[in-house]
Structure 1
Amino acid sequence: MAKSSADDAELRRACEAALESIGTKHKVAMSIRVAKSRGAKGKGGKLKSMAKPRVLAVTTKLKGQRTKALLRVFKYSNGGVLEPAKVYKLKHLSKVEVISNDPSGCTFTLGFDNRSSSPPQWTMRNIDDRNRLLFFILNMCKEILGRLPKVVGIDIVEMALWAKENTSSVTTQAYPQDGPVASLVTEDLKVTVERELVSQAEEEDIEALLGTYVMGIGEAEAFSERLKRELLALEAANVHAILESEPLVDKVLQGLESATICVDDIGEWLGIFNVKLRHMREDIESIEHRNNKLGMQSVNNKALIEELDKLLERMCIPSEYASCLSGGSFDESHMHQNIEACEWLTGALRGLEIPQLDPCFANMRAVKEKHAELEILKATFVHRASDFLKNYFAGLVDFMINDKSYFSQRGQLKRPDHADLRYKCRTYARLIQQLKSLDKSLGPLRKAYCGSLNLLLRREAREFANEIRAGTKASRNPTVWLDASSGPVSNVDTSNVSDAYAKMLTVFVPLLVDESSFLAHFMCFEVPTLVPFGGAANGDKNGLSDDDANEDDLGIMDIDENDNKAGNGSVDLGPLNESLQDLLDGIQEDFYSVVDWAYKIDPLRCISMHGITERYLSGHKADAAGFVRLLLDDLESRISALFNRFVDEACHQIERHERNVRQMGVLPYIPRFATLATRMEQYIQGQSRDLVDQAYTKLVSIMFVTLEKIAQADLKYADVVLLENYAAFQNSLYDLANVVPTLAKFYHQASESYEQACTRHINMIIYIQFERLFQFARRVEDFMFTLAPEEIPFQIGLSKADLRKILKSSLSGVEKSFAQMCRKLQKNLTSEELLPSLWDKCKKEFLDKYDSFVQLVAKIYPNENVPPVAEMREILASV
């Protein structure tokens, strides 16, 4: 018998190599060559040749405590190498069928329950290969899955006999360690089955059965036919036995028939009783339905009476409340009754509205009429209370205005005191709260209160401003600072002017903030909580304490801290700002008058007032006092505008120097600016540094531009004018430049301009005396770019003879030339203190130029005798 491909080791290794190429760890348990076809038929019913070579392999892998088995199909690639084609899981194998159309019996199909398409047909070389593969697959199913698929077209007994008798092949199946092992290899290399398709007991029964037949059966087919015939005989005997028991069956049928008749009679009686019970049940349900309606009607009537009683109680207006709301007194003694009446009216109106009132009652005529009656009563009371409060506020303010003791008088500066006014207003605070709950809008009342109090505040501010100006004695400083025609700069102390402005803010800003806060609470605005200002009550009522200048705290909490408490429901900020406008409008004019008065006395006091105003602004953040912040912003803008006017006038004074045709020496605005800057630095307070720095930038820029224009008027002395003025600027601002960064920047700019002017002026003086010498050196340097050094002495005007002439004319009597240079420097200077430094710069510049000339001659004219630099240095030292 030919060797089976299942024993081909090379085939198994090729399959394992194909598995490794796809990265799987399955082991090949068996591999065998097959032919794949789809079972197409040709003429005569014979199979048409459509076979393709394939390799079937059974692979296993240990997964936990169980083994996973797969049936893999390998095909040959174009290079003849095996590669995986399809994979089937053995656990889905449901049917093994041998094709009956193939007379050789070598063609079969494997059906899987998870595959909907028709399975392919596999054809083996011979019956032994077919039995070997199918036996191996069936054994694996029983070993791993514990069940066998359906087998069609194969006799199990035949398979068992083949497995027992066939000893021509050896197949070994090995699982990983610690897993199940089923071996088909015996010790004598014969095919055995450790777990056969039939058990040992079944095998013994089959052998005993076969032993009873000593007929010499040579083929299993004849044996199978005989068993079928005996089975038919046994079935016929069973049918005969059943027919013999017919009398017993008849008796049973008769008993069943009589029982059926009895059951039918009982069913008729039960139907009759069921009809009677149904009629009785309908009667009972009808009675219960009528009783339920009567009970429900009784309950509803009782509930309706209770609801109507409550509604009548809610609609009833007590006589004492009606009389109080329609015509009661608003005296302080009757305020308790008025508050109770308002609270009852608010509750009654709310009780007649949805959702407090059931919607079914809302459309009743009586409810609508009662609600209209309450609305009329509410409108009457709100109108009466508003008129009373308007007159009450106006009376309080008129009383205070007519009493001069409440205001500042000549020689007596008095802080406004509104404690008594607020105490009297608080008497009606709860009444205003009730009016807010009733009316929701207190616009006319708020406007009347703000209008009355505005008269008082403006009168207090006007009297205070007039008295603070009258009581402040200060000499007026001129606004002309940088003009030489204005005479010497006065050094009058005007600090009491800015102190007066600070006192005005110290007194009135806290007062205005307190009034804003009081207005927000008293008139029931829904805004964040404010902290009442505590410093307004300090000090003597008839005068001001010394600590008033430090009371710049506005006493207002940061509004951000109350955002979480007040929520986003502060819907009254707009109406509040309108009321604050009505309350404080016009009072800013008295602040402006103090600022203008201070500016006329000393314009530089704008710096101090600007710093004072900034300190108040930095501590003021509450929206409820928004008008106060606007007032401070306007004051700051006005102060800045006045100071800028002063700076513009100073710039105009500087620019007027440009009109003079001939000016020598230090311009007068240079030292005057130093005095001005010193005074401005003394006045800086708070955060007014930016204001002063902007003034410095504008003034110094105009000064430098004007200086350059004046210098250009006479080019002969331009550098002298520049260096003297830049030097004076540095000398006058040296101390301030060390502490003021803005002035330090301009100091360095003046220093650079001074050095440039010195360099130009010194070079001009040097070239006046030694022009021929250095022009000769310049011509030699120009030829060095195009000619070799040894060729230059042969050029026209650059020969050695020319050099000797130049040296003789320029350096003979050089002491006199140096003396003339010194006299030239001294002649044009008006500042004698600059002469030593300028002469030192001149000597150094000349020696540097002469040293370059000596080196040039030594390179171009190596044998010529030129006086050395040391000799020139000694001559200059002696001048």
Structure 2
Amino acid sequence: MQSVSNVALGEELDRLLVLLQIPPEYEVSLTGGSFDEGNMVKNIEACEWLTNAIKNLEASNLDPCYAKLRAVREKRAEFVLLKCTFVRRASEFLRNYFPGLIDSMLNDKDNFTQKGQLQRPDHADMRYKCRTYARLLQFIKSLDKSCMIPLRKAYCHSLNLLIRRETREYSNELRNSSKASKSSTPSFEGPAGVNQPAGIADSPAEAYSKMITAFIPLLVDESLFLAHFMCFEVPTSDGSDSDEDSTPKTSGSSGSSAKPSNNSSADLGVLNECVQEMLDGIQEDFYAIVDWAFKLDPLSCIPMHGITDRYIAGQKAEVAGYVSVLLDDLETRITILFSRIEKYERNVKQVGVVPYIPRFSQLAARMEQYITGSRDLVDQAYTKIVTIMFVTLEKIAQVEPKYVDIVLLENYAAFQHSLYDLANVVPTLAKYYHQASEAYEQACSRHINLVIYIHFEKLFQFARKIEELMYNMSPEEIAFQVGMSKVDFRKMMKSSLTGLDKTITAMYRKLQKNITAEELLPSLWEKCKKEFLDKYTTFLKLIAKIYPNETVTSVNEMKDILANL
């Protein structure tokens, strides 16, 4: 029996010892091996072994009688230390690898557009080299997820330098070498004559089309590749791995139709922040093309609008959110430029409600009485008229920058008031009623915030300074910064809240001063008091962390003061 028991014990110990021994070839890779391309197969094998070794020594995967053994605990600690060492070395290597890879591309002039020769960007070779380390990144994420943040930053920052240079040089050459730029007059007549020198683009709109065609598919692809390569848990394509296809596509595809998990949604937000970091700055080169095209030929806005719309319609990749934002911004810019061509009447000192708003409500009421059969044409007319009304209103409001929000809130309120009954029964008008309501609330908010800030500037500047300092230091340290001592705080509070009755009365008068529609004043004042109380509540929570023992006017006291005025 003793002999049988000893044999069984020996076999059991052998099984346990297998879990506790580090194969020599893996130990070399994990502690000091090279990350050169030729060694990556060994490194990945070592990673797989280490991941499984740590997992096998977790209490949940061991017989309870072994979980507390000293040898097991010590080996588990040793493996974790090995993991930390390896992840640190691998992360450091990749943080240096990405900038080095991009530097080599930046130093090769053949990668970029040169005079007289447009060079469409090609990142296939770069992605091929990056894929060598795709599995390594997956292991880094599984071993220590926090290491992905600096790695993603290093990758995005490096790629940003490359893409910005590509867009800048492509955009510059389009403008410098296009036939359109060789003429000082706008090209309304169509394509240039046969005797004109050959250029890269025959018209401003064609130059814009070349820019969009060369870069939008690339930007979508880079967004998809980033999502896959940097191990984001988001749907990146409709079944095919995005990083396996490095050829430019017209648009990205939205990916799995399954409901995204909470992790997936959170990762999508972080991914889009990374995509923005990777692409931020390139918008200026697109804007430059749009502005240049408009300057040469204002009517080029029409084809540019169509080109942009086509790409917006084809853009479905959730992970390429920044590309959608860029396209939307371009469309907005083109629309604004085109609107400058339109002639419209503007009252230089426009106050109160513009005449066309009440007229429109009368027109709409009349149109509703005469509808027979299909109402499609009437709805189309509403859409066209109201769109022009709102666009023109925004232009009129801009004439006097001081009164922008007052003009907007009064007119959007009048629009809602005059169409209240019709909007309840006509869905198209209901849509514009809600649009006006939202625009009214936004204008109110901006105006109220401005009025509050004017009268309590020191208070909110002090709060902003605290928020800025809290990014870099603990609350306890802030009171020892220059200008932030308890004495400074008391002085600021005294100057801000002394004569509070007069300050709040002044706020009311400021609201009242330029409003022509007096019926709006009570609701505006209520919004103003509520917004001020919200801001003051936030302020007190903030200063309680920094100056916990200071006596200040409480929220309830402030509420009472406001109620009595």
Interval of TM-score (by shorter of Structure 1 and Structure 2): 0.5 to 0.7
Aligned length, in residue pairs: 344
* 1:25-82 deviation line (CA, Å, top 9, x unaligned): xxxxxxxxxxxxxxxxxxxxxxxxxxxxxxxxxxxxxxxxxxxxxxxxxxxxxxxxxx
2:224 to 503, 517, 524: 517
Question: What is the CA distance between 1:575 and its match in structure 2?
Answer: 2.2
Which residue is equivalent to 2:207?
Answer: 500
**Residue equivalent to 1:356:** 61
Query: In structure 2, what is the equivalent of residue 456 of structure 1?
Result: 162
Q: Give per-residue Cα distances to partners, 1:851-872, cap 9 Å, x unaligned.
A: xxxxxxxxxxxxxxxxxxxxxx
Q: After superposition, where does 1:625-644 map in structure 2 within 5 Å? A: 625-644=320-339
- Contact kept, 8 Å, 1:598 with 1:605, in 2: the verdict is yes
Higher relative contact order (CA 8 A, sep 6+): 2
Counterpart in the other structure of 1:604: 299
Q: Name the residue aligned to 1:527.
A: 234
Distance in 1 between residues matched to 2:247 and 2:25, nearest whole Å: 43
Alignment of 1:472 onto 2:165? no
| Alignment partners' CA distance in 2, 1:414 and 1:613 | 22
Checking the alignment, whether the CA contact within 8 Å between 1:326 and 1:381 is kept in structure 2 is: yes
Residue 338 of structure 1 corresponds to which residue in structure 2?
Answer: 43
Larger Cα Rg: Structure 1 or Structure 2?
1
Gap change, CA 1:574 and 1:400, over 3 Å in 2: same
CA deviation after TM superposition for structure 1 residue 643, in Å: 2.5
| Conserved 8 A contact 2:175-2:289 | yes
How far apart, in 1, do the equivalents of 2:57 and 2:229 lie?
A: 29
Which one of the candidate residues 390, 401, 406 is aligned to 2:95?
390
d(CA) in 2 for partners of 1:591, 1:428: 33
Paired residues for 1:722-871 under 5 Å: none
> Is the Cα contact below 8 Å between 1:476 and 1:600 reproduced in 2?
no
Deviation at 1:508, TM superposition (A): 0.4
Matches within 5 A, 1:555-704: 556-559=252-255, 562-564=256-258, 570=264, 571-647=266-342, 650-652=343-345, 693=384, 697=388
- Give yes or no for contact 2:124–2:246 (8 Å, CA) kept in 1: no
1:528 aligned counterpart, secondary structure: coil
Distance 1:329 1:533, change over 3 A: closer
- Taking the aligned partners of 1:655 and 1:302, their CA distance within structure 2 comes to 102
In the TM superposition, what whole-angstrom CA distance separates every residue of 1:367-395 from its partner, at most 9, and x where no partner exists?
A: 22211111111111111111112222111
In the alignment, the residues of structure 1 paired with residue 390 and residue 18 of structure 2 have an alpha-carbon distance, to the nearest angstrom, of: 84
Q: Deviations over 1:92-134 (max 9, x none)?
A: xxxxxxxxxxxxxxxxxxxxxxxxxxxxxxxxxxxxxxxxxxx
Q: Please give the residue correspondences for 1:389-468 in structure 2 after superposition, counting only pairs within 5 Å.
A: 389-441=94-146, 442-468=148-174
Aligned-pair CA distance for 1:301: 7.2
Name the aligned partner's letter for residue 628 of structure 1: V
Gap change, CA 1:535 and 1:389, over 3 Å in 2 = closer
Instruction: Tell me the SS of whatever aligns to 1:330.
Output: coil
Change (3 A) 1:313 1:697: closer
Deviation (angstroms), 1:641: 2.4
Counterparts of residues 73-152 of structure 1 (less than 5 Å): none
Question: Does the C-alpha gap of structure 1 residues 449 and 534 become closer, same or farther in structure 2, counting only changes over 3 Å?
Answer: closer
- What TM-score results when the alignment is normalised by the length of structure 1? 0.36
Q: Name the counterpart of 2:80.
A: 375
Q: Which amino acid aligns with 1:424?
A: K
Unaligned stretches of 5+ in structure 1? Answer: 1-294, 479-489, 539-550, 657-688, 703-879
Alignment of structure 1 residues 42-61 onto 2, 5 Å: none
Residue identity opposite 1:524 in structure 2:
C
Maintained 8 Å contact 1:516/1:580? yes
- 2:392 and 2:231 mapped to 1: Cα distance? 56
| C-alpha distance in structure 2 between counterparts of 1:417 and 1:314, whole Å | 47
1:494-520 Cα offsets, whole Å, 9 max, x none, are 871111111111110000011111111
| Greater strand proportion | 1
- Aligned partners of 2:112 and 2:121 also within 8 Å: yes
In structure 2, relative to structure 1, the CA distance for the partners of 1:470 and 1:696 (3 Å cut) is farther
Q: Once the two structures are superposed, what CA deviation does each residue of 1:517-540 show, in whole Å capped at 9, x if it has no partner?
A: 1111111211113255999758xx
Is contact 1:458-1:586 (8 Å) kept? yes
Instruction: Tell me, yes or no, if the aligned pair for 2:208 and 2:290 is still in contact at 8 Å.
Output: yes
Percent of residue pairs identical: 58
Q: Which has the higher helix share?
A: 2
Counterpart in 2 of 1:720? Answer: none
CA shift, 1:635, in A, is: 1.4
1:565 Cα deviation from its structure 2 partner = 9.2
In the alignment, the residues of structure 2 paired with residue 402 and residue 341 of structure 1 have an alpha-carbon distance, to the nearest angstrom, of 35
Q: Distance in 2 between matches of 1:558 and 1:330?
A: 35
- Aligned with 2:117: secondary structure? coil
Match of 2:17 in 1: 312
Query: Does the C-alpha gap of structure 1 residues 471 and 618 become closer, same or farther in structure 2, counting only changes over 3 Å?
Result: same
Task: Give RMSD over aligned pairs.
Answer: 3.4
Structure 2: which amino acid aligns with 1:336? V
- Superposed displacement of residue 608, structure 1: 2.1
- Structure 1 pair 405–300 and aligned structure 2 pair: CA distance change class (3 A): same
What does 1:117-196 correspond to in 2, within 5 Å?
A: none
1:235-263 CA deviation, whole Å, 9 max, x = no partner? Answer: xxxxxxxxxxxxxxxxxxxxxxxxxxxxx
Partners of 2:117 and 2:330 in 1: how far apart? 26
Output the amino acid matched with 1:637. Answer: T
Q: Would the alpha carbon gap of residues 469 and 619 (structure 1) be closer, same or farther in structure 2, given more than 3 Å must change?
A: same
Alpha-carbon offset, residue 361 of structure 1: 2.6
Could you give the per-residue CA deviations for residues 384-419 of structure 1, whole angstroms, max 9, x where no partner exists?
111112222111111111111111111111101111
Distance 1:694 1:339, change over 3 A: farther
Is the CA contact 1:510–1:535 (under 8 Å) kept in the aligned structure 2?
Answer: no
Q: Secondary structure at the match of 1:651?
A: coil
Residue matched to 2:28: 323
Match of 1:859 in 2: none
SS at 1:416's partner residue? coil
Q: Which moved more, 1:693-702 or 1:403-412?
A: 693-702
Cα drift, residue 326 of structure 1: 0.5
The one-letter code matched in structure 1 to 2:307 is: I
The residue type equivalent to 2:137 in the other structure is I
